[in-house]
Amino acid sequence: MRAVILLVSFYGALSQPVENEVLKEFVNGNHKFTAAVYKEILKNEKGNFIASPFSVETVLALTNEGAKGDTSSELITGLSLPKTKDNIQKFFKTFLPKLKKSDEELKILSANKIYVKEGVKLENDFKSIATSIYNSGVSDVDFKNKVEAAETINNWVEDNTNHKIKNLIDPDTLDKDTSMILVNALYFSGKWASEFQSYSTYKKKFFKTKDETVDIDTMYQSEYLSYYENPALNTKFLKLDYRGADVSMTFVLPNAVDGLATLEENVEQLLVTQPLIKAIIEVEIPKFVTETSIKFKPILQDLGIQKLFTDEADLTGLSSSDKNLLVSDVVQKAFINVTETGTEAAAATAVHGVPSSLPPPPKYSFKADHPFLYFIKYNGIVLFVGRYATPS
Ligand SMILES: *[C@@H]1O[C@H](CO)[C@@H](O)[C@H](O)[C@H]1NC(C)=O
């Protein structure tokens, strides 16, 4: 029996607008899948986490190009992908090139790579779709040399995530039966349109629970920002834009100190764009780093993707000479670093309506001193989602 391991890794995320029905269909599915994954992660993860369901969608959509029958239909349903392969391809063909941007303000990179065992023959159709639509390279690896093979793949991942994701693959998960590994690396580094000032960062109390606090580095600013308090959800939303593209990070903060669990029952609703207002908001947000490794196989199985992981997997569109191909694992390692600037260089802020005299007093406050969730969106697509609940 042969095994395929799919690996996904990422650091942050984003890019530029695409407008059409295909995008809308993808966005709806992306929100549904993101919410479902979030709920699954909660089963095991009680503290902080960061994940990129989008990265899983990308690498499994590529796998789906070589899947047939129930193996494919389970993938389409479980991932909430657009209904036809044609629309799935249209989406990725338009969107993936936009996930390549590298300038002073904004760096974003999504890279796919397929590693196959020497001798495994990929179908030409699959290879051409992988290259032209998923921008994916293909390389031979000798999996019998586990340590070297893991090093080759881990080096590629490191290079494509600005050295943030290391040791994604444990050599011990490779063996002579491994015939293929699919990897998606997603890297993002952006600067806030409205930066925080380092001198405004102080240790402040964070309520881990109603009764337990811990002092942590908390960033502060008082600026014209996008904000909304949703009375039905009893929750505040704060959207912080990045410079250079239509990308933003939204912080979702329950009014109640211990309100996150209730909020998390409605994750899909939280991903919907809120009727934000622009006002002066007094903001306090922890400065934080989160790194998470997630085993996606049980999550995907819970979401109905089952055949892919069994002998009954039909991946003959990937390789017809390797009829026993199946997926043995899908793992992800993700990392986020939220700081005053996002990156180092400080420059004039872009979206400012600062009056020439003293600023008026803030009308609203967004004080994230208790557990909250967050997501980074690009043009409606959630690239990553996370939760901050327990300061380290
Ligand atoms: C997070 O970013 C800041 C500012 O760029 C940097 O000084 C710090 O080392 C980073 N932390 C990690 C864990 O990468």
> What phi and psi, each to the nearest 5 degrees, are found at residue 171?
-50, -30
For ligand 1, mutation pick of 107, 161, 288, 337 (most atoms within 8 Å of CB): 337
Distance in Å, CA 289 to ligand 1 centroid? 8
Across residues 335-358, what is the average pLDDT? 51
d(CA 341, CA 242): 10
- Residue 164 is predicted with a pLDDT of 81
Does position 375 have pLDDT exceeding 70, yes or no? yes
- 3-state secondary structure at position 263: helix
Q: Which atom of ligand 1 is nearest to the CA of 337?
A: 1
- Residue 355 is predicted with a pLDDT of 40
More confident residue, 367 or 380: 367
Distance in Å, CA 250 to ligand 1 centroid? 21
Distance in Å, CA 77 to ligand 1 centroid? 39
Does position 378 have pLDDT exceeding 60, yes or no? yes
Does position 5 have pLDDT exceeding 80, yes or no? no
Same domain membership, residue 62 and residue 164: yes
Q: Specify the CATH number for the domain of residue 373.
A: 2.30.39.10
Is 134 a member of any domain?
yes
Q: Specify the CATH number for the domain of residue 34.
A: 3.30.497.10
Q: Are 216 and 207 in contact (CB under 8 A)?
A: no
> Total structural domains in the chain?
2
Distance in Å, CA 346 to ligand 1 centroid? 15
Is 315 a member of any domain?
yes
Find the residues whose C-beta lies inside 6 A of ligand 1: 289, 337, 339, 343-344
pLDDT band at 358 (very low <50, low <70, confident <90, very high): low
Does position 384 have pLDDT exceeding 80, yes or no? yes
pLDDT per residue as tens digits for the range 232-259: 999 999 999 988 778 899 999 999 999 9
Is 357 a member of any domain?
yes
Distance in Å, CA 385 to ligand 1 centroid? 20
Same domain membership, residue 105 and residue 149: yes
Is 85 a member of any domain?
yes
Is 341 a member of any domain?
no
- Residue 173 is predicted with a pLDDT of 83
Q: Look at the block and give the residue holding tokens 């990725």.
A: 92
The reported pTM is: 0.89
Distance in Å, CA 256 to ligand 1 centroid? 31
Same domain membership, residue 242 and residue 131: no
Same domain membership, residue 366 and residue 297: no
Distance in Å, CA 343 to ligand 1 centroid? 8
Query: Could you count the other beta carbons within 10 Å of the beta carbon of residue 73?
Result: 14
Is 318 a member of any domain?
yes
**Helical (H) or strand (E) element with 349:** none
Max distance between CA atoms of the chain, in angstroms, equals: 73
Same domain membership, residue 375 and residue 358: yes
Same domain membership, residue 205 and residue 171: no
Distance in Å, CA 286 to ligand 1 centroid? 14
Same domain membership, residue 50 and residue 151: yes
Same domain membership, residue 125 and residue 90: yes
Percent with pLDDT over 70 in the chain? 90
More confident residue, 173 or 66: 66
pLDDT band at 20 (very low <50, low <70, confident <90, very high): confident
Same domain membership, residue 253 and residue 157: no
Is 44 a member of any domain?
yes
Ligand 1 atom 5: the closest Cα is on which residue? 343
Ligand 1 atom 13: the closest Cα is on which residue? 289
Ligand 1 atom 14: the closest Cα is on which residue? 337
Does position 115 have pLDDT exceeding 80, yes or no? yes
Q: Which of 54-68, 73-87, 96-110 has the lowest mean pLDDT?
A: 96-110
Same domain membership, residue 85 and residue 106: yes
Same domain membership, residue 352 and residue 303: no
Range of the domain at 182: 2-190+290-336
- Residue 19 is predicted with a pLDDT of 52
For ligand 1, mutation pick of 104, 335, 339 (most atoms within 8 Å of CB): 339
Q: What letter would DSSP give residue 11?
A: S
Query: Could you count the other beta carbons within 10 Å of the beta carbon of residue 206?
Result: 22
Is 110 a member of any domain?
yes
Q: Which of 55-64, 309-318, 340-349 has the lowest mean pLDDT?
A: 340-349
- Residue 14 is predicted with a pLDDT of 37
d(CA 14, CA 162): 15
- What are the Cα distances from residue 378, in Å, to 11, 180, 225, 290, 384? 15, 31, 18, 21, 10
pLDDT band at 227 (very low <50, low <70, confident <90, very high): very high
- Residue 352 is predicted with a pLDDT of 32
Tokens (6 digits) for 279: 């006002």
Average pLDDT over all residues of the chain: 85
Same domain membership, residue 231 and residue 106: no
- Residue 180 is predicted with a pLDDT of 80
Across residues 208-217, what is the average pLDDT? 94
Pairing mode of beta strands 3-10, 178-190: parallel
Q: Which atom of ligand 1 is nearest to the CA of 289?
A: 13
